[in-house]
Amino acid sequence: MRAVTFSRNVFIPLSMSCRNRCSYCGFRVDRPHLMRPGEVEGLLRKASEAKEALFTTGERPDEAWREVRGWLVKEGYGDFVGYLASMNQLAIKHGLLPHTNAGCLSYEELKRLKPFNASMGLMLEQAVELECHSQSPGKKPSVRIKTIKDAGRLSIPFTTGILIGIGETEYDRLYSLEVIADIHANYGHIQEVIVQGFKPKPGTPMQNAKPPSHEELLKAVKAAREVLPSDVAVQIPPNLVDDVYPFIKAGASDLGGISEVTPDYVNPEAPWPSIEEVRKQLRGEFYLRERLPVHPKFVLLKLYGEAVEWLVERFADGEGYVRRGVA
């Protein structure tokens, strides 16, 4: 029986301010926003059985808003990456493994965050230029590809993915998957690729756009499994589909993070299913297995940040999955 993996997490939207203006995004707010340390700690304390602290942020909020930049300097963090590193360390102090997705980062910025993260991530979305990204400098494919490659140069276990239904063609989807496969062939650091369908958000320019059909999403999952190497997991987010079963049958083997204590702030209209609900969806043909935010292969290779080593050793079994009985 094949395992389907997932990670228990707490979702921390550290900043919803962003320099990009993507036509489909409901996460970005048009004002300065930055969670303060006390707010972050409040979420960390709710972690329950979570092992992962998922830090998701808008891209370069300190570039987008001088108020954010001013607070960071005044409080002694210097810049947003410095603040992120500090909040990563706070998560570690609370016994959680950070996974950071902060948009496009430079090699030096990734290097600063690497010691305090179990893994990191950045959605490629699509490897072609699209109209929905016309006001988003950080969504230029070359910029995103550089960040993913730089993470590889630093041997950071990395999550990426494609977004389906944002104006791309079927050829674009295949090309984007091939780009990811080529990067992994060179650096070997991609742990999973998310296949995510666009969901229209009220108040956005694409609020009336048609989301991809079930068949389109299923076809994209099958394509991902065919194009990507076998050591890269294909992930389907369980809160964005009605039933994970057909996607697991099509080749997905991972569900990503599931939070029992926080919403999906990127898709707040889509609540997480309970772990028991997901288990039932697998119909007894597959079994759920909990993993850490760093996938088992990279646990065994010890490619996580040095500051999280003690936590990985506490949580992981001999195969790199979560040890049974660990809360």
Arithmetic mean of pLDDT, 143-148:
99
- List the alpha helices (DSSP H) in the chain: 37-45, 61-64, 66-74, 80-93, 107-113, 141-153, 170-187, 214-227, 245-249, 275-281, 296-301, 309-315
Per residue in 154-169, pLDDT (tens digit) is 999 999 999 999 999 9
Q: Which residues are within 8 A (CB) of 45 and not within 5 positions of it... i.e. 6 or more apart?
A: 94
The angle formed by the CA atoms of residues 105, 167 and 6, to the nearest 5 degrees, is 55
Tell me the Ramachandran region of residue 43: left when phi exceeds 0, alpha when psi lies from -120 to 50, beta otherwise: alpha
In the chain, pLDDT over 90 holds for what percent of residues? 98
Residue 35 confidence (pLDDT) above 70? yes
Confidence of residue 48 (pLDDT cuts 50, 70, 90): confident
108 in Cβ contact with 147 (< 8 Å): no
What domains are defined for the chain?
2-315 (3.20.20.70)
Amino acid at 154: L
258 in Cβ contact with 278 (< 8 Å): yes
- Ordered DSSP codes for 187-199: H--EEEEEEEE--
Amino acid at 182: D
pLDDT for 54: 99
Arithmetic mean of pLDDT, 53-74:
97
**pTM summary value:** 0.97
Q: What distance in Å separates the CA atoms of residue 222 and residue 324, rounded to the nearest whole number?
A: 31
Arithmetic mean of pLDDT, 61-72:
96
pLDDT for 327: 64
Arithmetic mean of pLDDT, 135-150:
98
Per residue in 3-17, pLDDT (tens digit) is 999 999 999 999 999
CA dihedral for 255, 259, 260, 266, sign (positive or negative): negative
Q: Which residues are within 8 A (CB) of 290 and not within 5 positions of it... i.e. 6 or more apart?
A: 5, 6, 7, 8, 51, 321, 322
